[in-house]
Amino acid sequence: MKSWSDIGFEIEITGDQSPSLRMLKSLDPAKERGESMHHSGGACEETLLIYGEPIRQVLENIEKPHFLIVGLGLGYIELVIAREALLQGKSSNQVGLITSYESVPELREFFYNWLHGRCENLSAEVVETYEKVLFHVLKGTALHSEALKDFLRQHFLNLGDIHSELSSEVRLESRYHCILYDAFSSKTSPFLWEEEFLARLLREGSADKSLLSTYACKGSLKRALRREGFEVVVRDGFQGKRNSTLGIKNLG
Ligand SMILES: C[S@@+](CC[C@H](N)C(=O)[O-])C[C@H]1O[C@@H](n2cnc3c(N)ncnc32)[C@H](O)[C@@H]1O
C-alpha cells in the first residue's frame, strides 16, 4: 500500500497542528525544498481564512451554488464547503455542484477511499492524515465527522467525480458561483497562472454572480479578473504572507 513518500510527498505539521503535504522534489531550481501545499503557519487556518469566508458568502446569497476547486490536495477546501453548508443548516442537495480538479491520481484515490470508508485500501499513515485534517476542519463546531463525510460522499459518489488534471484545453462542465483557486505556484504550475488561460476560465466558467478566491496575488490574475468583469479586492494574506485576491462579480 502506498503512502505519501511513495507518491512524492512528505507530511508537514503546520503551526496550527493541522497537516499539509510538501513535495519531496523541488520543481523550482532556485529552491532546495519542494513546494508545500499550505502556509507553514497553519494549513487549516489558512484555508478557513482564504476560502471559508467566500464559501460562506456564496452559500448565503446563491441558491444551489456551484463550486469549482482547482487543487484537491488533502481536501481541506471541499471539507470546508461541507462545514459551512452544514453550519448554515443546508443539506448536500442544497449545494448544486462541487467540481474538484487534482492532477495526482493517488490524491484523488486516497481521498475518495477515505471518504467512502474503504480504509483497508489505504496505509495507516494516509488514514491518520485525513482524520487529522477532518479534526481540524471540525474544530470549534458541534458538527459530526460522519455528517461532513456524508455530505461530500453525495457529491463524490464515484472516483471519476473527482476530475484529473486541469489542462489548458479544459472544457468545464458548468458555470460556477465560487471558484477556489488553490493551484501550486507559477513556478510549479506555470500555465495555470497565465492571463489568457485565467481569462478564458473566467469567461467560460463563471456564473453571472460569482466569486473567485485564491491565496495568490499575481498581476496576471488581477488583469484576467478585471477583463472578465470582476471587481478585484486585495486581501491580507495569511500571517503576513503576501496578499491574497478576491474577485467579485455582481455579488454582495
Ligand atoms: C496548493 S495544493 C492544494 C491544496 C488543497 N486545496 C488542500 O486543501 O489541501 C495544489 C494542488 O494542485 C494540484 N495540481 C497541480 N497541477 C494541477 C492541475 N493542472 N490540475 C489540477 N490539480 C493540479 C497538486 O497536485 C496539489 O495537490
Q: Which of 79, 102, 134 to mutate to test the pocket of ligand 1 (most atoms within 8 A of CB)?
A: 102
Instruction: State residue 241's pLDDT score.
Output: 67
Distance (angstroms) between ligand 1 centre and the Cα of 101 equals: 7
Instruction: State residue 242's pLDDT score.
Output: 80
Is 34 near ligand 1, meaning CB less than 6 Å away? no
Q: Which of 103, 163, 165 to mutate to test the pocket of ligand 1 (most atoms within 8 A of CB)?
A: 103
Is 107 near ligand 1, meaning CB less than 6 Å away? yes
pLDDT digits (tens, 9 = 90+) for 182-233: 999 888 888 999 999 999 999 999 999 999 999 999 999 999 999 999 999 9
pLDDT digits (tens, 9 = 90+) for 172-183: 999 999 999 999
Is 101 near ligand 1, meaning CB less than 6 Å away? yes
Is 73 near ligand 1, meaning CB less than 6 Å away? yes
From 143, 139, 201, select the one nearest 168 (Cα to Cα): 201
Can you tell me whether residue 164 is helix, strand or coil?
coil
d(CA 229, CA 207): 11
DSSP 36: B
From 240, 247, 252, select the one nearest 220 (Cα to Cα): 247
Distance (angstroms) between ligand 1 centre and the Cα of 100 equals: 10
Q: Which atom of ligand 1 is nearest to the CA of 215?
A: 1
Q: Return the C-alpha cell found at 97.
A: 455542484
Instruction: State residue 209's pLDDT score.
Output: 98
Q: Which fold has domain 42-249?
A: Rossmann fold (3.40.50)
Is 152 near ligand 1, meaning CB less than 6 Å away? no
d(CA 179, CA 177): 7
Instruction: State residue 238's pLDDT score.
Output: 85
pLDDT digits (tens, 9 = 90+) for 7-65: 999 999 999 999 999 999 987 778 888 999 999 999 999 999 999 999 999 999 999 99
Distance (angstroms) between ligand 1 centre and the Cα of 56 equals: 22
pLDDT digits (tens, 9 = 90+) for 117-132: 999 989 999 999 999 9
d(CA 81, CA 90): 11
Instruction: State residue 204's pLDDT score.
Output: 97
pLDDT digits (tens, 9 = 90+) for 60-93: 999 999 999 999 999 999 999 999 999 999 999 9
Can you tell me whether residue 47 is helix, strand or coil?
helix
Is 201 near ligand 1, meaning CB less than 6 Å away? no
Instruction: State residue 187's pLDDT score.
Output: 83
Q: Ligand 1, atom 1: nearest CA belongs to which residue?
A: 37
